[in-house]
Structure 1
Amino acid sequence: MTPLDEETGPSSPADSIRLGVWGLGAMGEPMARHLLTARGSVTVHARRERPALSEAGALWAQTARELAAGTDAVLVMLPDLPQLEEHLDGPDGLLAGIDGRDFLLMIGSTVSPVGVRDLAGRLPDGIRVVDCPVSGGEDGARAGTLSIMLGGEPADTERAAALLAPCGRPVRLGPLGAGAVAKACNQMVVAATILALGEATELAARSDVDPAALWELLAGGYAGSNLLESRRDKLVAGDDSPSGIASYMVKDLRFAADIAAATDTRPALLPALRAAFDEIVERDLGERDIAVTRRFTAERSAD
């Protein structure tokens, strides 16, 4: 595990690279803002234009081809690989804009490690791929404190680290796909923690124990975590208005199961987590915040 903290100041080689961001959702937009602030120029592309970003100085690309034509490296913050692949080819696709140049494609989406390696193998020579999923949620994206998990060739991950440093702490974890493996491990812990927090909050409330007092007390012990700090108020209030939606966890846990199968790992907890989040989606709760685990527990208890 190698921390890569190269600065992106005026003297850095990364400063001369024209950078783009594709995908301006809950994570992509604040990351683009940090990159714009650090670099002074970023080209962005998404399904819908973000006028506030343009007003701040970002350059808007109408198509994936236009994005690639005006950049040397692109950070992709789309939900998964299919959303990227459907815009690779064709007259307005990313590859048409790259047009045979050397290019760095940084995939920040949560993806399958097998899938990202397969994609890299099908791309033209000269296109270097780094998988760089992030952890820290919307709070971390806004604060610029994300954990950025890098997989790829050393020279490529070094360049990606220099470019992405304004968004958090980049760490090289191994060859292409290593970032995706790390993100799957991260999501297993997040899923287990938020499910336990939801169940414990509901259990306390049904036992006439004040959940706010409970978590205020336990936050300073082994039960404390960044996730508890982030979701405590939501859990206590029963507020699961969307932020990091629960249905995304289904895909993430599927990737974790694929990795377990590929490495002959026999986890005991992962199947239970998959079953729980599958049930959350089946109960039409998947578009709620992951703090919906409290509501999920209450509904199951009422059945």
Structure 2
Amino acid sequence: MATFEETFGIGPGTGYDAGPGAADRRRVGMIGLGSMGMPMARNLLASGVAARVSVHGRSRDRIGPALDAGAEWCDSPRELAAASDVIITVLPDLPQLRELLEGEEGLLAGLSQPLLLVICSTSSPAGIRELAAELESRTDGRVRLLDAPLSGGADGAEAGTLSIMVGGDEAAFAVARPLLETFGTPVLLGPLGAGEVAKACNQMVVASTMVALAEATVIAERAGLDLARLLDCLGGGYAGGRFLASRRQRLIDKDYTPSGLARYMIKDLGFATDEAARGGVVAPQLTTLAALYEDLGRRGFGDEDLTVTQRYIAELDRLPGDGRER
């Protein structure tokens, strides 16, 4: 079997690809076609960048829109691996990916040629590096990884405007870049795991902004202010930004229908906490945010949208168990 470098035409003097257009005509597989993965798959198919797009999921019916757009169905992860040069996974975390790797019908069982595995999960940087080392050993270097967590939500996935934070080597990034550009703007931030560190930092900012908006809207509403007018004012000043714009109507309507589950923030802030500890960083706001979202999850709000933080804040004065009862 050819090496990874030979298969993808990368190495000294190759310019990282096997010729004009080579990197953007790969056979691509995708797993995890949910609220983010489905529009990503449709954008990839519409671009014509990939030579072929194959998909797999628990239910063929749920993947119907991708099949209608031209994707090919694979009955198992094994079949997907055999049909792909690059596999892009859009899963919650590494345990779900590990489950798909193993077994007689797993991805590794279908490995007939070197494979680039692009992991779009928000995961532990250390976990990514451990998985890469494990696969390097088990496959004699035939599987190469990139971590490529996403920011921008389902709206960004639909519009193809996601921020894609990538960790890995430059050669693998050069192969994946034309594909990732159909989803948004990919930026290589450093070696494997760097994308996950960046995503952890991103989530710290998102969480702090969400809590600030939640507290501000609850305070303002109890003072008799109109939330729509307030948020318009905030949006026109330094408090404005893409996150406020994306959550404005939800905060006004108190619509907590999930587009991204609040409980994922608990996991994400846990990764940020681990990185802070690894770097010896004292991060008081991160400590507060992590504790807040742990409490939010314990109180049963974890399966709502992140904007449920507003409801959590509004009910703190009457929620038992934390000494805040009045």
Please confirm whether the aligned pair reaches a TM-score higher than 0.5, indicating the same fold: yes
Q: In the alignment, which of 106, 119, 141 is matched to residue 93 of structure 1?
A: 106
Q: Does structure 1 residue 293 correspond to structure 2 residue 309?
A: yes
Greater shift, 155-164 or 188-197, is seen at 155-164
Query: What is the TM-score when the length of structure 2 is the normalising length?
Result: 0.88
Measure how far apart 1:218 and its partner are.
1.4
Matched length: 293
Between the aligned partners of 1:262 and 1:214, the Cα distance in structure 2 is: 40
**Structure 1 match to 2:176:** 160
The SS at the match of 2:24 is helix
**Structure 2 match to 1:209:** 225
Measure how far apart 1:15 and its partner are.
2.9
Between the aligned partners of 1:107 and 1:51, the Cα distance in structure 2 is: 23
The SS at the match of 2:101 is coil
Between the aligned partners of 1:131 and 1:228, the Cα distance in structure 2 is: 27
Greater shift, 113-122 or 209-218, is seen at 209-218
**Structure 1 match to 2:56:** 45
**Structure 2 match to 1:253:** 269
Between the aligned partners of 1:212 and 1:63, the Cα distance in structure 2 is: 48
Between the aligned partners of 1:256 and 1:26, the Cα distance in structure 2 is: 24
Q: In the alignment, which of 122, 135, 143 is matched to residue 134 of structure 2?
A: 122
**Structure 1 match to 2:288:** 272
**Structure 2 match to 1:70:** 83
Between the aligned partners of 2:225 and 2:103, the Cα distance in structure 1 is: 60
Measure how far apart 1:89 and its partner are.
2.1
Amino acid at match of 1:53: A
The SS at the match of 1:15 is coil
Cα-to-partner distance string for 1:160-219 (whole Å, 9 max, x where unaligned): 112211110010000000000000000000010011101111110000011111110111
Amino acid at match of 2:290: R
The SS at the match of 1:251 is helix
Cα-to-partner distance string for 1:76-132 (whole Å, 9 max, x where unaligned): 111100111112122101011113x21100000001010000000011211110000
Cα-to-partner distance string for 1:142-165 (whole Å, 9 max, x where unaligned): 000001111001101121112211
The SS at the match of 1:241 is coil
Measure how far apart 1:11 and its partner are.
5.1
Which is bigger in relative contact order (C-alpha 8 A, separation at least 6)? 1
Between the aligned partners of 2:201 and 2:176, the Cα distance in structure 1 is: 22
CA contact (8 A) 2:122 2:196 kept: yes
Identity %: 50
Unaligned 5+ segments in structure 1 are 1-9
Between the aligned partners of 1:293 and 1:16, the Cα distance in structure 2 is: 43
Amino acid at match of 1:165: E
Between the aligned partners of 2:108 and 2:118, the Cα distance in structure 1 is: 14
CA contact (8 A) 2:161 2:183 kept: yes
Q: In the alignment, which of 158, 164, 173 is matched to residue 189 of structure 2?
A: 173
Instruction: Compare CA radii of gyration and give the structure with the larger one.
Output: 2
How does 1:103-252 map onto structure 2 within 5 Å? 103-123=115-135, 124=139, 125-252=141-268
Measure how far apart 1:260 and its partner are.
0.6
